[in-house]
Amino acid sequence: MSTNPNILVAVVDGARDSSLTKQLLSLDLCILSDSVSEPGSNPDALRFGVGESDLSRPTAEWVWIHEHPSLSWIESRIKAGGRTILGASGARELNEEALQLHDGISWYIDFSFCAPDFSIDQAADILAVVLEKAGHNSEREQKKLRVVALEALTNAWEHGYGGDESQKIHAIYRVGLDGFHIEISHQGLGFDVNDVPDPMAPENLLSESGRGILIMKNTLDRLEYRDGGRKLVGYKAFKK
């Protein structure tokens, strides 16, 4: 198999004998150096690519992978210029297609989190940092999209898991020139969105139920729930 020469992967806390390393080597990528200290972070990263000259490529061109990422590490990678970040990647099968998500223009942030690194606010802040870096829409719209992430994450935690921080939430943020894509999923209790009371109905004006979904519907161009309500998928187009 001939691997795309544009695939560059940096595995933080990577070990030569790890299953993740074996998957990358099976894609005809090679370890470019034994261990290169990652700028701005204590752990070392194993870097994979086609040729040693790749080591000089900028941060934005690398796919950053961490099997046990903290939310602060993800945020620090984005601030340092990383555009493709995969967290807890040991749980998914890596292939060329998965590693070509980054196109040099868009941001793709894919991570899971739970206690002890649990923070709904920080998970939403990760999106805020991406939107600020992308700069494709107004500051007001960026704040509204952060609220969307906050509501989606809060619903997953509160309604899916009953507030149990030990349970895992999976988040995907994709930000490109055309718009914003979000996926929030969990393995807790599901629901039927059609059963959620209308918060604008006179009898529900004093109730908090359904207000988060209303906020997201009014902000996004598309919003849907899949897997029995356990997965939220939304999209917002950016104004040209």
DSSP character string of 193-207: GGGS--TTSGGGTT-
Backbone angles phi, psi at 123, to 5 degrees: -65, -35
**Rounded distance between C-alpha atoms, residue 238 and residue 44, angstroms:** 37
Tens digit of pLDDT at every position of the chain (240 positions) = 455 667 888 888 777 778 888 888 888 888 886 544 444 443 468 888 887 777 878 888 888 988 788 999 999 999 999 999 988 664 456 777 777 766 667 899 999 999 999 999 999 999 999 999 998 888 999 999 999 999 999 999 988 999 999 999 999 999 998 999 999 999 998 776 665 555 444 544 334 555 678 889 999 999 999 999 899 999 999 986
Residue labelled with tokens 């207000």: 211
Say how many CA atoms lie within 13 Å of 225 toward its Cβ.
19
Please state the pTM of the whole predicted model. 0.85
Specify the pLDDT at position 98: 72
CA distance 45 to 216: 38
Whether the CA torsion 19, 23, 25, 31 is positive or negative: it is negative
- Tokens (6 digits) for 195: 């059963």
Which residues partner with 44 through β-bridges? 37
